[in-house]
Amino acid sequence: MNLLKWNAMALVVLAACGRAYADGPVKFTPVRSIYTDGKNVGLAQPEGVGCGIGSVLVVADPGNGRVLQYGLDNDSNVPVKEIKLPQVPFPIRAQMNLKGEILALDGKSRRIARISPAGEFAGFVDIAGAAPGAVVARSFAIDDKDNIHILDIYSGRVLSAGPSGNFLGEVPFPARHGFISDVMVDSSGTVYLVDSVEGKLYSARKDSKEFSLLSKSLKEYCDFPVGLAADRKGHIFVVDKNGSRIVILGRDGSFQGQQLGMGWKEGLLRYPSQICVSGGGELIIADSGNNRVQIFSVSE
């Protein structure tokens, strides 16, 4: 390859790595980023972020085999707690319930572990009374009543259980789908799914027995959607992993804009994986390819 062609390709790559999206009325402003723990050990491709009660943030850091708990009101970015357990050697999702317990999904066993507020293993989530069939968890969500909703990719369903693990119900995946990668529950109890391959969102209202198509294909805006979050203002935030951006939808599935883009600088992303909304309305993103967690304020 001659020098002229190489330089042309390099310019294309650099342009792509600095590409940012800023469409629509909703705007994101970088607040700060988390790169390390209190011992200056860097995050290693963090996969999961969970916004807990108050100003608590939990981070699934699989590259280091741990879950970290931070206080968002502490600007020093020093975690309150580091949790390493043999039962969860590769955590890819972590969320906190109202009792201060952390639920962490291990990416190897595909089981969800309960972790006590003291950081001790308190057993796995097993749903008593569920219909027969193996459970292989890809993701999960905790609602406002501490019910847990498990994305079971083996049996093709969302399993719902009460705080103690009692079976509440299940809803099968849509009949025609590609790969369902994340589940979310909003404040009304509506459950949402995102299909990474087809680029579609589905929803099921509380007590519904099936999922309905919420949005037409998002392929015009998304390369590979993998994560979901919602705020209390009616926005749904969709993580586009390969596009390194956040797509914003209304609760009716309507497109409302897109933010951020591919890059290494603060305010840009590289292959993000999950998102959550803090109690104060900040948007928190697991910026996996940049080995950090980024925090954004949201305005309209």
Q: In the chain, pLDDT over 90 holds for what percent of residues?
A: 78
- Predicted local confidence at residue 228, as pLDDT: 97
CA–CA separation, 280 vs 145, rounded Å? 19
Mean pLDDT for 123-147 is 89
For 151, the enclosing helix (H) or strand (E) is: strand 148-152
Could you tell me the CA-to-CA distances from 66 to 50, 84, 234 in Å, in that order?
14, 5, 33
Q: Where are the alpha helices (DSSP H) in the chain?
A: 3-17
Q: What is the pLDDT of residues 237-281, one digit of tens each?
A: 999 999 999 999 999 999 999 999 999 999 999 999 999 999 889
Neighbours of 27 (CB within 10 A): 13
pTM higher than the cut 0.85: yes
User: Which neighbouring-strand residues pair with 240?
Assistant: 225, 245
Residue found under tokens 């497109």: 255
Structure tokens, 127: 């749903």
pLDDT of residue 84: 97
Is 184:190 a contact under the CB 8 Å cutoff?
no
Joined together, the tokens standing for residue 158 give: 């969302």
What the chain holds in terms of domains, given with CATH numbers, is 23-299 (2.120.10.30)
Non-local CB neighbours of 12 within 8 Å, separated by 6+ positions: none
Note whether 161 and 170 are within 8 A (CB). no
Question: Quick one: which of 259, 239, 234, 237 has its CA closest to 248?
Answer: 237
Q: Could you tell me which of 241, 246, 287 has the C-alpha nearest to residue 266?
A: 287
Residue-averaged pLDDT of the chain: 90
**Which pLDDT score is estimated for 76?**
67
